[in-house]
Structure 1
Amino acid sequence: MQKQVQVNKINNPADLEKAFAIRHEVFVTGQNCPAHLERANEDEAHHFLAKVDGEPAGASRWRKTADGYKLERFAVLEKFRGLGVGQALVKAVLEDLPANAGYVYLNSQTPAVSLYQRFGFKKVGPEFEEAGMMHYKMVLKK
């Protein structure tokens, strides 16, 4: 049976805590990312929570930086991977950006590059290490 994936922009503290818990499990527990790095810049970000059949499954955010609009912290709990949660999060975040958002970019973990390529992101520059994991900077080509 097809699972129902829904993504909403977070507008209450309870959902924000669910998103933080997902990110903690994926990044801090699962990938040994330092907690202080994982939680940086929270106040200036726009947060999203994905649910599968009503159960919290994934999270993401975007924020305006000096360089442009940065998509960040895409996390999907292991038991929900392969159900399209990551794609639904990317789509929701892109749709939420201001219409005049010029430069849109992200730092993708190397295994996730193909996800972002489906939405028009292109790798720019060499692979690099961030928080103990390999990444590529990717820019949305319109």
Structure 2
Amino acid sequence: MKFHLTVDNWAAQQADARAVRYDVFVIEQKIPVELEWDEMDAFCLHAVAYDEAGLAIGTGRLLPDGHIGRMAVRLAGRGQGVGAAILQALMAQARQRGDHAVMLNAQTQVEAFYGRYGFTRVGDEFVEAGIPHICMRHVFA
């Protein structure tokens, strides 16, 4: 699958990022819609991946404090490198602005995915929105 990424502010990415997050988190994972949206979106950099037809298939955000979050890939884009491209783009943005590390709260089922990109577990498992998570950190060399 061919796809391309854009990284921009919330004003530019909101419609497509919201659509992906709604499909993945609210519809598929049954996360209550009121837990999905927060005031931090306006302060984040957002990556959105698009397929060849121009459909948004994945998204993620980078918060001002170096946290990466709201990583989501629609079912049709999974296993195609979309999530990896989004993660690497957000990591590159963090590094470029001078962050020394990035953190994220990963669903435990995808710990190995983040581990492939140098993230290591920090602390104990916890539950967020009814789903087991772990905190993970990557320190830039």
* TM-score (structure 1 length as normaliser): 0.88
Pairs aligned (count): 137
In structure 2, distance between residues paired with 1:16 and 1:118? 29
Mapped pair 1:56 → 2:53 = no
In structure 1, distance between residues paired with 2:9 and 2:108? 31
In structure 2, distance between residues paired with 1:137 and 1:27? 19
Deviations 1:111-137 (A, max 9, x none): 111121111110011111001111110
Instruction: Determine which of 55, 59, 68 is the counterpart of 1:71.
Output: 68
Q: 128-137 or 29-38: which moved more?
A: 29-38
Deviations 1:31-54 (A, max 9, x none): 121222211121111111101223
- CA-based RMSD of the aligned residues comes to 1.6
* Unpaired runs of at least 5, structure 1: none
Mapping for residues 1-142 of structure 1, pairs under 5 Å? 3-11=1-9, 13=11, 15-40=13-38, 41-53=40-52, 54-65=54-65, 69-97=66-94, 98-142=96-140
Q: CA deviation at 1:13?
A: 4.3
> Aligned to 1:42, what secondary structure does the other structure show?
helix
Q: CA deviation at 1:93?
A: 0.6
1:11 and 1:127, CA in 2 relative to 1: closer, same or farther beyond 3 A?
closer
Q: CA deviation at 1:103?
A: 3.3
* Unpaired runs of at least 5, structure 2: none
In structure 2, distance between residues paired with 1:112 and 1:47? 20
In structure 1, distance between residues paired with 2:87 and 2:72? 11
In structure 2, distance between residues paired with 1:77 and 1:32? 14
1:8 and 1:14, CA in 2 relative to 1: closer, same or farther beyond 3 A?
closer
Deviations 1:74-112 (A, max 9, x none): 000011111111001101111111442023100001111
* TM-score (structure 2 length as normaliser): 0.89
